[in-house]
């Protein structure tokens, strides 16, 4: 029951946020004319790019840590011999 109530509240807040950010804004890029885009799409794209970049850096850090652990750990003797 609590999950349902929280889901409904989060949905209401999200819909209210979307409805308040539907106007167009000018997005200036390095080259060319400014592009008119709805603010909610710009916010969504920024959010998704932020999630993707943070996930990428977390994966890079994990790979480096795994390599460091492999280099620092001594080789275990082969038990099959």
For residue 36, the SS3 value is: strand
Q: What is the C-alpha to C-alpha distance for residues 28 and 31, in angstroms, rounded to an integer?
A: 8
Q: What is the pLDDT of residues 68-79, one digit of tens each?
A: 887 776 665 555
Cα 53 from chain centroid (whole Å) = 6
Q: What is the pLDDT of residues 17-29, one digit of tens each?
A: 888 888 999 999 8
77 within a domain of the structure (yes/no) = no
The total number of structural domains in the chain stands at 1
Q: What is the C-alpha to C-alpha distance for residues 40 and 19, in angstroms, rounded to an integer?
A: 9
19 within a domain of the structure (yes/no) = yes
Tell me, yes or no, if the pTM score tops 0.85.
no
8 within a domain of the structure (yes/no) = no
Residue 47: C-alpha distances to residues 20, 50, 67, 70 (Å): 17, 5, 31, 35
Domain range for residue 41? Answer: 14-72
């Amino acid at each position: 029951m609590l999950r349902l109530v929280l889901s409904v509240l989060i949905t209401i807040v999200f819909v209210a946020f979307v409805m308040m950010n539907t106007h167009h804004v000018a997005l200036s890029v390095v080259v060319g004319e400014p592009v008119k885009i709805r603010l909610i799409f710009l916010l969504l794209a920024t959010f998704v790019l932020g999630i993707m970049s943070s996930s990428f850096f977390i994966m890079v850090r994990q790979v480096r840590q795994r390599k460091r652990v492999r280099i620092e750990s001594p080789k275990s003797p082969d038990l099959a011999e």
